[in-house]
A and B are shown apart, each in its own frame.
Chain A
């Protein structure tokens, strides 16, 4: 009798255990980023992974699993379309997504809506996506980030513009004219620069890539301009092509400043300067500003080759993306927009506790 009782109790315990395990919910998230091309994406991946580890530790079991993918380069639209299709086919509980081309995913996003798979945009997200596809966005306000770069660069060269007898040139290297993040930064920089210059009574003309020329707010004709902003875009997002475009701007006799709107563009400017030695903040030197981090750019800011750069918070962006996806699938409250912030850093401020953790190598 005792044996039978023990057996029954053991079976009940086993069933209880199975039931307890069965009650433990598990979630699988797919993350499709713009690539692993720069250490920026790797930092974002690290941020997401660290948050999953923390949540799993707190839960006491593997509650969340994640698979992250991204194209080989940020211009590889077809590859990202395939990766997003794979992510959809995996039937995940949610998808984190940063699109390389905001126009290429409408059908796939509609399919996600049909399958009721929630999507959280990060970095540049997916502007113009079909209604209901993107539940929330965790991103930097890239337009604002561009204006911050313009603010700081303008302050550094304002006196030189005033003292210049003729026209002066400010360069801008953007790795593309399609992705939301880069184009917003590029436009933000140009618009703010025009606004600041106009307040001083200086006209600004924008030349170069058509997208940036056509979208500039308040630009004047070249003949009426005191400042020319020359926006350049390479054919591919490789650093050597960015360097070739940057070299043209740095070689112009009237160039006084240059801005690279992401890590690859900034590294292209640094690579071009390695042959030209024209960047710096001394007399007659070209003042440079970058975006994001990476060891080469950090070294350039630290030694004064670049005046400074804008850092985003990729670690936070990864963390917030996971948190929001989890809140959505659990039916908890969430906001539609999470601004993960950005900041201007220089050689003096790059070791500040609020900035240093985001300056990845």
Chain B
């Protein structure tokens, strides 16, 4: 009996120390926040608020899932925000100025992400340059490149009656109802599918196992004969690929892409991954946790203005939540 009680105590202690506990806390915070906004604002109670939360989530979630992988290796990717705008501007330039078909612009947009992710990964893994420095350099490079290649002109992807404007329906379908047009955030279906796929990649494939191992004990992995360089680079390729997808999601959600924007987008993505339980020191992380982190940030972004608090409060509160998440991570690991 005594042994059972001890076992129970030790299993509950290990649950509190687990990242699953952190995810449970985030779910509870999300639910409480939603109830709070719902109770305080009648305008918040509309269906369209959920659509808006989804719209705010798409591009951040894609970047956040991407950056989860470099974070797990103990690295980082600060180039995602400016990369998103740069790739999106290039795609727009190819469609509007060069007359390329939409599919080709999409391929190049994603391809650019993969290419820059590969460059990040190769330099970080081969030359052992600190990821912070490398991706900071890439962040500046991409900010400049986007403006130079498009001559500092804003860009738009097909919209309204333009041919190819239907790509926007991938994220938000407009349904005609008796009471008028209704947006359906079908992009969330793809996001959930992506979360499931990337969870499988992280937890049940060789790619994921090696990426986690790089973050927890790189030397041991090397000694066991694994090509560490290849898998280390692959983490940044995933990040770049996801940024390419995020560029398309951003172009589908907002009317205009303007050069110079994007810096700071990556901080929301990195913050969401950390809030979701990805360790800053590497070696552990969860794609589902990242999803919850993005949901929490998007809920704050959309909900706080409804209760009369501007986005400054959103930054302040997100900062507090991030600090709490890092503290929990530190306590868990100590």
Chain A residues within 8 Å of B, Cβ to Cβ: 35-39, 42, 45, 71-73, 209, 232-236, 238-241, 243-245, 247-248, 251-253, 264, 267, 270-272, 274-277, 294-297, 299, 303, 361
Contact = CB atoms under 8 A, between A and B. Distances in A.
Contacts of B258: 36-39, 239, 264
Interface stretch (B70-78, B195-203, B308-316): B308-316
B38 interface: no
Contacts, number: 117
Interface string B294-331: 00000001100110001110110000000000000000
A234 to B, nearest CB: 5
A277 B174 CA distance: 10
Contact of B310 (A234, A274, A275, A277): A234
A69 to B, nearest CB: 11
A275 B51 contact: yes
B136 to A, nearest CB: 15
B255 A72 contact: no
A296 B255 contact: yes
A234 B183 contact: no
Q: Provide the main secondary structure of the chain A interface.
A: helix
Given A235-B315, A244-B52, A253 B310 contact: no
B311 A267 contact: no
Size bin of chain B's contact surface: 35 or more
Interface in B77-133: none
A271 B255 contact: yes
A232 B261 contact: no
A52 to B, nearest CB: 17
A275 B47 CA distance: 10
Interface of B: 42-44, 46, 48-49, 51-52, 55-56, 143, 147, 152-154, 156, 159-160, 172, 180-181, 183, 253-256, 258-261, 263-264, 301-302, 305-306, 310-312, 314-315
A233 B308 CA distance: 11
A164 to B, nearest CB: 18
A72 B43 contact: no
Given A235-B311, A275-B52, A296-B156, A267 B254 contact: yes
Contacts of B312: 235
A46 to B, nearest CB: 10
A313 B321 CA distance: 45
Nearest to A237: B261
B256 A294 contact: yes
A45 B153 CA distance: 11
Nearest to A41: B152
B139 to A, nearest CB: 11
